[in-house]
Chain A
């Protein structure tokens, strides 16, 4: 059985994930993948801009 404290913590994290996904309008399950893509693309764009 999960403790109340642990449950509260998990619920809080669920909410944070939801909010983050909503911020860029993607599904929660896709968030890490999309963030990773943005980070890579950002790096590349910065490189291109510098050159």
Chain B
């Protein structure tokens, strides 16, 4: 594998092949090499010697925008959308910001992620249209310390994705892409051609890479056109059959450059900032801030490491003290960060993610608590939900769906605020104990306090004024949790050289007896047959059990294409055997599996759209469904879920199975199909219950919901932050459970000699009487 740096030099050496485009030559662009950093770039300015990127060039558009017209955030998108639509692109709606279709990501971090699928064969691209344009809202947590400070960093932003797949016939390639980007800037936005500069670079992604041209105007990078044309091993350039145009541009930057405001936040969050300024009464010295912003634009905490030192340098340049500088800018920086974080929260909660202490929810809670911390620090009368509401209103032309989720957002934020304030109360006690013990609060302790108790450094600073907080604290804590999303790892059994098993269970669900040939016995406990109708464990559904000849089958697993039947006795290889599946257990598992889909829909309908399946298990004794929800379920909620689930059962809705290509399935049913997590196959089996639920699922199901008979919720429990477990049983298993309860009640009533309705009261009375007599006896003994 070549390093990115080596690959960069390789591309640079061969620049004519990778970067020289007929379109640029025809327009009169010339290639230059930056006299400062050595990067290649393309410009119409024949005298120019430096590249357009920082630190070789500073922003030149602040207070001096290169366009005659001013566009706000929404208008900028409309201009871009109109332009690309006019040039044959399909404008598609954004994909969810919570990335449920990739096993390695919690969030959508770029527009191309929408169309990338990781399967057994590596990365593949699935485009719903070609070419297309998408306003993709993204969440990234690696820039948190920069958000609000540099004027250009965001945790939540909109990446305009211009994408095309090119195989020599359909779609387009480099020349057309750059021509379109150039014309968008020059014609639609009215930027002078000589202001547009293309910088040579490259991009390396999972399983694919290629050269790229970043386009700049007056020192601001507006977009990056990546030409994904090579695959896998980058030590050799293996061209892909279907190449991909992956142009991502920041909508924030397009709007910003047309306005030339001190920061991009002033444009992007205009209504939100207006509201906050009104609420807080904060006024700012715009002239001073413009001067500051020109210098702050060069800030990047990843590079400067120490914000205090950088502030000192800026203060010196502006001729003010650091204290005065901070007094003027800190409230604004806080407002910018709050605006960004509330936008991220609005999208993520609307797309079904809850703040918590695990996985992606952890990162969400980081920005939520950071925003609440700012509000507390400045003692502002600002409610986060009001800001989310403003974001939803502001973005309604691009994302009308946000407004539909405001109720959930409010409910979730209220609970989180309460939890934050409880943490604040606990902080004092915890910090005092640490101080009393004479212990220090170093970086590791800070991270640990946040991780285990949710205590932010800002809260600790209230008690330890000289606390040293690393500038990249939030980056460090969020990075700790980005690796949590991992695929389930199975016990590895070597099946090399074993022919695949013909898995026939889906072809005939009613076949319970069959004959097969024993191909192989592994470790004296696993039988491989030439074919099988046994259902191997998968999708949270336990496997079938039964017999192979007289040997009981206790478990069935699929490893690759081979199905392993776990047996108690050794079977002779090559022998033809009689196989019997336990049909009662199969029937119960089917009932529990369909029941799980039904309870999931019912829970979503009762509790809200934030409910997603987090995990599930279907055994013959009961089923359990883990859902995302922010609190314990109340008795009333449990009753409502059960009631709704039984309504679905009674309606006797058809349970339909469809096998669809992944792209088609996503288009038809949306991303709700990924309830059980990501399915790595390119072809999905979709299980639909009437038209109320559609899930990608490989499990066995009933044909109609009525076959479930009825559903009883056994118990519910909050098993971790943001996750609630619902245990239930269906049909005969539920009936057995209820009969057992009935017997217990009857027995208790008999003991107490009361009617069953009076048992709770009688038990209570008995207990009180018992306590009182015990007390009396103790008193007597003491005398």
List, in ascending order, chain B residues with CB within 8 A of A29's CB.
744
14 contacts between A and B (CB under 8 A): A14-B741, A16-B756, A16-B757, A16-B760, A20-B748, A23-B767, A28-B741, A35-B766, A38-B766, A45-B774, A45-B777, A48-B777, A49-B773, A49-B780
Instruction: Tell me the residues in window 640-667 of chain B with beta carbons closer than 8 Å to chain A beta carbons.
Output: none
Q: What 4 pairs between A and B have smallest CB-CB spacing?
A: A10-B738, A19-B760, A20-B760, A32-B747
| A1-49 CB contacts (< 8 Å) to partner B | 1-2, 7, 10-11, 13-14, 16-17, 19-21, 23-24, 28-29, 31-32, 35-36, 38-39, 41-42, 45-46, 48-49
Categorize the interface residue count of chain A: 20 to 34
Which of chain B's residues have a CB closer than 8 A to the CB of A48? 777
Contact for B751 among A23, A32, A45, CB less than 8 A: A32
- Say whether B770 faces chain A, with CB atoms less than 8 Å apart: yes
Q: How far is the CB of A48 from chain B (nearest CB, A)?
A: 6
Contact B742 A42 (CB under 8 A): no
Q: Given the complex, which residues of B lie within 8 Å of A11, measured CB to CB? A: 712, 738
Contacting pair B748 A45 (CB below 8 A): no
In the complex, chain A residues whose CB is within 8 Å of the CB of B774:
45
CB-CB under 8 A from B47, the residues of chain A are: none
A35→B749 CA distance, assembly (Å)? 10
- B751 lies within 8 A of A35 (CB): yes
CB pair A16–B759 under 8 Å, yes or no, is yes
B777: chain A residues at CB < 8 Å are: 45, 48-49
Min CB distance A39 to B, Å, is 6
**Nearest CB of chain B from residue A19's CB, rounded to whole Å:** 4
B430 at the interface (CB under 8 A from A): no
CA distance A22 to B485 in the complex (A): 39
Q: Are A38 and B767 in contact (CB under 8 A)?
A: yes
Contact B767 A24, beta carbon cutoff 8 Å: yes
B residues near A19, Cβ cutoff 8 Å: 760
Question: In the complex, what's the smallest C-beta–C-beta distance from B768 to chain A, in angstroms?
Answer: 10
B509 contacts the other chain (Cβ, under 8 Å)? no
Closest to A30 in B: B744
Given the interface pairs A2-B735, A10-B742, the reply to whether A23 lies near B760 with Cβ below 8 Å is: yes
User: Do A49 and B776 form a contact, CB below 8 Å, given A23-B767, A39-B766?
Assistant: yes
Question: B776–A17 contact, CB under 8 A?
Answer: no
B256 at the A interface (CB under 8 A)? no
- Report chain A residues within 8 Å CB of B739: 10
Given A41-B770, A45-B774, the answer on whether A17 and B764 have CB atoms closer than 8 Å is: no
**Cα(A22)–Cα(B745), bound, Å:** 13
Min C-beta distance of B557 to chain A, whole Å: 33
Q: How far is the CB of A37 from chain B (nearest CB, A)?
A: 9
Asked if residues B756 and A13 are in contact (CB atoms below 8 Å), the reply is yes
User: A10 vs B742: C-alpha distance in the bound complex, in angstroms?
Assistant: 7
List of B residues within 8 angstroms of A39 by Cβ: 751-752, 766
Q: Are B748 and A2 in contact (CB under 8 A)?
A: no
CA of A13 to CA of B743 in the docked complex: distance in angstroms?
Answer: 9
Alpha-carbon distance between A1 and B707 when the two chains are bound, in angstroms: 10
**A4: shortest Cβ distance to chain B, in Å?**
9
